[in-house]
Amino acid sequence: MLAMGVRAFGPAKTIEPLDVEKPTPKPGEAIVSVRFAGVNHVDIAMRNGVFAKSAGLKTSLPLVLGMEASGEVQSIGADVEDLKAGDRVAYCLSFGSYAEYAAVPAWRLVKVPDDVPLDVATALMLQGSTAHYLTTSAFPLREGDVALVHAGAGGVGQLLIQLARIAGAVVIATVGGAQDKGAIARSRGAAHVVYRDNGEDFQKAVMEITSGAGANVVYDGIGKETIAGSLRSVARRGVLVSLGQASGPIEHISPQELGEQGSIFFTRPHLADYLREKAEVSARAKDLFDLYLAGRLAVPVDRVYPLDGAGEAHGVLEGRKARGKILLKVV
């Protein structure tokens, strides 16, 4: 079967077609005929070899990329009781989604309601689940909280803004220099927008907007370029959440800084720790599907590439050109 991946770690141009054997289901697994595969920053990190020696995401070569997809169940292995061939499903955090077929642990699969398109379901898996746990578990937002959301026009950012607003929070969003990015963030519910690439100081803006109090929570997926300002934007006893490193890894945060900023908390959570079992996977997906079907959650699919366009898709994401979810259409 056709799959896209790498034989050596490196830049986007190292992605190439791989002729791999179609999987057969082991006990507890289902084979999914993939319709859409999601493109995410974690795929770029895996392609670059960041996790080559990781205990949790250890990768070996050759590597079929991708950790998120939707499609139909083609077959099931032993001990799988709640799925059957033909079921519409979606999932994340299972390797090898840039392929025509994928073997997935059955407990990670969620059934997709008939009225939810599969491209939308894909976008709600990794990015949607991330935005969900960040706003309900990592920092349970409440009415009146102030949240600073970096990269507010991106896929996760747009979902974060909407879920924060649903919780009753006031959202300050940062975006790149393009004016349309600011319009996107506002359309999702951001009350204030700061254009970082135009030289606007988001820390200063946060303090002015909050009359010096700071934000109750800062969601920072940019990393190296923003972390110092993010730390100084947090309110006393607030939380700084690092959810990515699009601009490069964070080199250092001193515990002393956390104390001097007002006894703030710093966390670098992983989605896998908030999708630990089937009940949690299903509950988060149900919340997201219900919000989408009720018209309360817009799911931004920005671009769709064919499976063999994975390299180009990675280039767009790395170049910070995405204004929503990037997908690969497999079938």
Residue 267 has pLDDT above 90, yes or no: yes
* 318 neighbors 295 (Cβ within 8 angstroms): no
What is the C-alpha to C-alpha distance for residues 116 and 123, in angstroms, rounded to an integer? 11
* C-alpha distances out from residue 93 to 33, 246, 321, Å: 17, 19, 24
CATH label, 130-271, candidates 1.10.357.10, 3.20.20.140, 3.40.50.720, 1.10.760.10: 3.40.50.720
| Strand 301-306 versus strand 325-329 pairing type | parallel
Mean pLDDT of 47-63: 83
pLDDT score, position 17: 98
What is the C-alpha to C-alpha distance for residues 273 and 320, in angstroms, rounded to an integer? 27
CATH class, domain 2-124+299-329, is: alpha beta
Mean pLDDT of 285-309: 97
Number of residues that make up the chain: 331
Residue 308 has pLDDT above 80, yes or no: yes
Residues of the chain with CATH 3.40.50.720: 130-271
**Per-residue pLDDT tens digits for 208-258:** 999 999 999 999 999 899 999 999 999 999 999 999 888 888 888 999 999
Residues of the chain with CATH 3.90.180.10: 2-124+299-329
**Per-residue pLDDT tens digits for 183-198:** 999 999 999 999 988 8
Which residue's structure tokens are 């009350």?
191
